[in-house]
Structure 1
Amino acid sequence: AQRAAPSVRELAWDGSTVTAEPSRSGPPGVILAAIFAEAVTDLLTASDMGKVRECEAADCVMLFQPAHPRRRWCSPTRCGNRARVARYYQRHKPPVG
């Protein structure tokens, strides 16, 4: 995917300085796939790759890099909240019968 839309650095002049900005050419879908492929490459070769975890929510397939070592869910507001609500319900559900 990266080869289909390689990143090149284009020089730009803003009137006072020269900058080098990454640029890709091609159809939008090919460019998007190349950007994702580059991000995956960066993730897999990062020094902290060993910190990547799988979300502990039963119905989630997301991976994440925790900012805190005790983090368990990809999103505290989505998966974490669901898990907390389920635990609360289990502790406080009315007796059957």
Structure 2
Amino acid sequence: MQDAQLTLDLALTVRHDGDGGVADDLTDPAGLTAWVRARPGLAPPGYTADTAALAAVRDLRAAVRALFARSVPGEPSRADAGRLLPVEEAVARLNAAAARVPTVPVLDWPDAGGPVAHRRPARGEDELPSVLARSAVTFLAGPDRDRLRACHAPRCVRYFLKDHPRQEWCKPSCGNRARVARHHERHKGV
């Protein structure tokens, strides 16, 4: 899975709940288990989260969202406004999680090409937070970070990667809500 998408997916486990509030997809180990299993290859088959993994991933997500808030032009997501970690703490959490599991060299040799060497985390109990943290480090230090935006549509708390120069919202429904809100505001006193 691409680093940008995996990191964005982690941040988007905090989302609008449909009633004007914020929902969290990672409130219990079952939520983390479902989230991981929806991303094949992220963890070993049959992965089941426990409370320690949940706490580690939630801590990492808080760091990622704090660093997202620093990365976006303008205001961060409203879900983060009152509870952002200091940048130094967020960076320290991210780096600590990335360092939890050593990497090992792995050789791939596809039928239609030559051998390719890369590094893969060694299997271990802290593998998931480490993989997520390394993905976040790669994304935040890479060129895709410049496309990161916070959606400012009414009730939205998401971050997104801007794919078009005129893109302002994370999805069309947010654009519709923003236009309706502007229309309502213009015609409120009429």
2-structure distance, mates of 1:2, 1:46? 16
Q: How many residues align?
A: 84
Aligned Cα RMSD in Å? 3.0
* Pairing of 1:29-68 with structure 2 (within 5 A): 30-68=126-164
| Displacement of 1:48 | 4.8
The CA distance in 2 between the partners of 1:14 and 1:82, in whole Å, is: 43
Q: Does residue 8 in structure 1 map to residue 100 in structure 2?
A: no
Q: How far apart, CA to CA, are the structure 2 residues paired with 1:7 and 1:58?
A: 43
- Counterpart of 1:26 in structure 2: which amino acid? G
Q: Please report the TM-score for the alignment, with normalisation by the length of structure 1.
A: 0.61
Matched-pair identity in %: 27
Off by >3 Å, runs of 4+ in structure 1: 12-19
Match of 1:26 among 115, 124, 147: 124
Give the structure with the higher percent helix.
Answer: 2
* Residue aligning to 2:173: 81
Q: 1:48 to 1:19 in 2, by over 3 A?
A: closer
Structure 1: 5+ residue runs without aligned partners? 92-97
Tell me the TM-score normalized by structure 2: 0.35
Structure 2 residues without counterparts, runs of 5 or longer: 1-96, 185-190
Q: Which structure is higher in RCO with an 8 Å CA cutoff and minimum separation 6?
A: 2
Report if the CA contact (8 A) 1:52-1:66 is conserved: yes
Seen in structure 2, the aligned counterparts of structure 1 residues 45 and 12 have a Cα distance that, compared at 3 Å, is: closer
